[in-house]
């Protein structure tokens, strides 16, 4: 992902997985030039699975970004419930579903939770 031409403060808020042979999750990506969220394939995934990372631009303001994070996670869950993402499991980011307009925990970082590394 090349975020160098995007203004803002992008943060990864979640990682989810689907079966490796499931259709690619293109329709959920927000990769339009003015999008404030992205869903991109992770650089690495466990064997038999495909991991995706969800990013939100916190440059739009903390409360709006948290609401956008929740909306993205809820959309992913709806798609999974509809059978569009076989093998779906939220690997990390559960705490964003119940965030009340503030970050889930002070100093919280996804890479510490999941072991994932930033793409920058």
Look at residue 23 in the predicted model and tell me its pLDDT: 77
Look at residue 99 in the predicted model and tell me its pLDDT: 66
Q: Is residue 84 part of a domain?
A: yes
Please answer whether residues 86 and 67 qualify as being in contact, where contact means their C-beta atoms are separated by less than 8 angstroms.
Answer: no
Q: Is residue 3 part of a domain?
A: no
Closest CA to 8 of 28, 30, 41: 30
Look at residue 118 in the predicted model and tell me its pLDDT: 42
Look at residue 81 in the predicted model and tell me its pLDDT: 92
Look at residue 22 in the predicted model and tell me its pLDDT: 84
Look at residue 33 in the predicted model and tell me its pLDDT: 61
Q: Is residue 69 part of a domain?
A: yes
Q: Is residue 55 part of a domain?
A: yes
Total domains present in the chain: 1
| Beta pairing partners, 53 | 15, 40
- pTM over 0.75, yes/no: no
Local structure of 60: helix, strand or coil: helix
The residue range of the domain holding 81 is 10-103
Q: Is residue 53 part of a domain?
A: yes
Mean pLDDT, consecutive 10-residue stretches, the chain (120 aa), reads: 58 93 68 76 93 92 89 88 91 80 50 42
Read off the tokens for 81. 């419930």
Q: Is residue 27 part of a domain?
A: yes
């Amino acid at each position: 992902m090349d975020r160098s031409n995007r203004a803002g403060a992008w943060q990864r808020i979640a990682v989810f997985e689907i079966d490796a042979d499931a259709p690619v999750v293109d329709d959920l990506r927000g990769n339009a030039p003015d999008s404030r969220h992205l869903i991109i394939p992770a650089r690495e995934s466990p064997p038999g699975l495909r991991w995706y990372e969800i990013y939100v631009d916190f440059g739009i303001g903390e409360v709006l970004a948290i609401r956008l994070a929740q909306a993205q996670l809820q959309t992913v869950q709806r798609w999974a419930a509809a059978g569009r993402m076989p093998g779906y499991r939220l690997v990390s980011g559960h705490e964003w579903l119940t965030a009340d307009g503030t970050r889930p925990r002070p100093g919280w970082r996804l890479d510490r939770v999941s072991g994932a590394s930033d793409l920058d």
